């Protein structure tokens, strides 16, 4: 009878290699000594990756949504912060002509507008300018971190739901047929795996985005401190 699901590709490939082998050549071939009664049946019952994913049901779909939203936010922040970092590096080569198109340029413009102020007032003005830039640089980082923490918790929720359903089925039908509990146990295990699979990449991209943001803010703080020090020396001169 026709197979409901074809064997794995490595089995197909072994048949093709055996068929195309020349005389005297040794070629491997998979054989089922049970004549399809056991090994082939087990192969037919093996779940695909997509079927494992579907076993997570609604909780799995929510975890997937959390993962992709967090990943999109992270990719957007990586692109934006990379572009901002490039503009800041270009501005560092031309400090005399500040541009409004980058955070460092806006801070330098504050300095040029307050050159006649004393050191204390200039420091306050620059601190205020840096505080205005910080939320723009840090935007989205907290959300990525939140999603990376929520994903495994949702997986744990799926595990709890799966175990509750399993015990309900044991109460109703007993333990005579394990197949009745297979779906609930799959939900319990698969959602845990899905939560971890979502959380681990999000933690990595959160680390990348956070490092880029800290690097930009460090440059702003460093340049502001240098401006204040130079201004203080001018006042003493």
Residues 67-90: tens digit of each pLDDT: 999 999 999 999 999 999 999 999
Query: 13-17, 99-103, 151-155, 168-172: which range is least confident on average?
Result: 13-17
In a domain, 82, yes or no: yes
| 25 and 61 housed in the same domain | no
> Is 198 in contact with 67 (CB distance < 8 Å)?
yes
pLDDT at 1 over 50: no
pLDDT at 108 over 60: yes
In a domain, 226, yes or no: yes
The rounded distance, in Å, linking the Cα atoms of 150 and 61 is 14
Q: Using one digit for the tens of pLDDT, what is the confidence trace for 170-184?
A: 777 776 666 666 667
Mean pLDDT along residues 14-34: 64
| 144 and 108 housed in the same domain | yes
| 174 and 189 housed in the same domain | yes
In a domain, 198, yes or no: yes
Domain count, the chain: 2
pLDDT at 43 over 90: no
Q: Tell me what the pLDDT averaged over the chain comes to.
A: 83
| 34 and 90 housed in the same domain | no
| 33 and 71 housed in the same domain | no
| 26 and 65 housed in the same domain | no
In a domain, 2, yes or no: no
pLDDT band at 102 (very low <50, low <70, confident <90, very high): very high
pLDDT band at 231 (very low <50, low <70, confident <90, very high): confident
pLDDT band at 165 (very low <50, low <70, confident <90, very high): confident
- The tokens for 12 are 């197909």
In a domain, 55, yes or no: yes
In a domain, 221, yes or no: yes
Query: 126-130, 182-186, 189-193, 229-233: which range is least confident on average?
Result: 182-186
pLDDT at 30 over 80: no
| 133 and 159 housed in the same domain | yes
CA atoms within 13 A on the CB side of 70: 29
From residue 78, give the alpha-carbon distance in Å to each of 63, 65, 69, 142, 217: 22, 20, 14, 14, 15
In a domain, 4, yes or no: no
From residue 52, give the alpha-carbon distance in Å to each of 55, 188, 193, 198: 5, 12, 10, 15
| 219 and 120 housed in the same domain | yes
| 41 and 77 housed in the same domain | no
Residue 34: give the domain boundaries. Answer: 9-45
What pLDDT, on a 0 to 100 scale, did the predictor assign at position 129?
94
pLDDT at 188 over 90: no
What pLDDT, on a 0 to 100 scale, did the predictor assign at position 186?
78
| 65 and 41 housed in the same domain | no
| 114 and 97 housed in the same domain | yes
What pLDDT, on a 0 to 100 scale, did the predictor assign at position 17?
67
- The tokens for 70 are 């967090």
State how far Cα 131 lies from the chain centre.
28
DSSP 4: S
Q: In the block, which residue shows the tokens 């560092």?
A: 92
pTM: 0.75
In a domain, 94, yes or no: yes
Indicate if the alpha-carbon torsion angle 197, 201, 203, 206 is positive or negative. negative
| 75 and 174 housed in the same domain | yes
How much of the chain exceeds pLDDT 90, in percent? 51
């Amino acid at each position: 009878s026709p197979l409901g699901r074809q064997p794995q590709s490595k089995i197909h490939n072994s048949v093709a290699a055996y068929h195309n082998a020349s005389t005297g050549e040794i070629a491997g071939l998979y054989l089922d000594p049970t004549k399809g009664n056991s090994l082939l049946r087990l192969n037919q019952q093996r779940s695909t990756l997509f079927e494992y994913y579907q076993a997570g049901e609604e909780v799995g779909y929510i975890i997937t949504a959390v993962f992709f939203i967090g990943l999109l936010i992270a990719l957007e922040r990586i692109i934006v912060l990379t572009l901002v970092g490039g503009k800041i590096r270009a501005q560092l080569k031309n400090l005399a002509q500040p541009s409004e198109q980058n955070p460092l340029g806006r801070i330098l413009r504050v300095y040029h507008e307050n050159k006649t102020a004393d050191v204390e007032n200039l420091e306050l003005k620059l601190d205020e300018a840096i505080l205005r830039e910080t939320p723009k640089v840090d935007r989205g980082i907290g959300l990525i971190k939140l999603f990376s923490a929520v994903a495994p918790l949702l997986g744990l929720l799926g595990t709890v739901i799966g175990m509750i359903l399993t015990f309900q089925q044991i109460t109703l039908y007993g333990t005579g047929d394990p197949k009745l509990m297979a779906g609930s146990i799959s939900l319990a295990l698969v959602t845990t795996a899905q939560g971890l699979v979502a959380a681990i990449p999000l933690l990595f991209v959160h680390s990348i985005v956070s490092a880029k943001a800290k690097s930009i803010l460090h440059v702003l703080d460093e340049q502001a401190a240098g401006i204040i020090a130079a201004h203080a020396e001018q006042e003493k001169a």
